[in-house]
C-alpha cells in the first residue's frame, strides 16, 4: 500500500545552508519515526513558499545513504494571503504496511501551527 507521509518546517533564513539544514532535519525525522527505507519510497514532492528560493531543498535528500535514485521534485506553494512564510513542505509517497492512522506526520519549528490537530513529535 502506498501512503503519503507529510511534513513541514520553517527556515530561519533564505540561504542554501538554512534551507538544506532544515530540510535534512525534517527528512531525518520522517525516516526515523516511520522507519522508511529508500527502496520503499515511490517519490517525494517538496514545496516551498515564495520567500524560500536560495536553494533546492531536495539537495538535502542526496545526503542520505541509498537515496540517490529516489525521484524528488521541488515546486512552489500557492501564495495564499496570510499563510505561513519561510516554509518547506514534504509529501513522501511510501510503500508501507502501516495503517493510515499509524503514519507519523512531522511538523517542526514554526510549521507546528499547520496541523495542531496531529500529535506533535
Region of 79 on the Ramachandran plot (φ > 0 left; ψ -120 to 50 alpha; else beta): beta
From CA 85, how far away is CA 26, in angstroms rounded? 17
- The catalytic site residues sit at 6, 62, 74, 77, 89, 107, 115
Q: How, if at all, do strands 2-10 and 72-76 pair?
A: unpaired
Q: How, if at all, do strands 2-10 and 106-107 pair?
A: parallel
Amino acid at each position: 500500500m502506498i501512503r503519503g507521509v507529510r511534513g513541514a518546517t520553517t527556515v530561519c533564513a533564505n540561504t542554501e545552508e538554512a534551507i538544506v539544514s532544515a530540510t535534512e532535519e525534517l527528512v531525518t525525522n520522517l525516516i526515523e519515526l516511520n522507519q522508511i527505507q529508500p527502496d520503499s519510497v515511490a517519490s517525494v514532492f517538496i514545496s516551498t513558499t515564495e520567500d524560500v528560493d536560495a536553494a533546492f531543498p531536495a539537495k538535502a535528500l542526496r545526503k542520505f545513504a541509498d537515496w540517490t535514485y529516489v525521484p524528488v521534485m521541488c515546486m512552489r506553494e500557492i501564495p495564499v494571503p496570510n499563510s505561513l512564510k519561510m516554509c518547506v513542505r514534504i509529501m513522501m509517497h511510501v510503500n508501507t504496511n502501516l495503517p493510515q492512522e499509524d503514519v507519523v506526520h512531522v511538523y517542526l519549528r514554526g510549521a507546528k501551527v499547520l496541523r495542531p490537530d496531529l500529535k506533535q513529535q
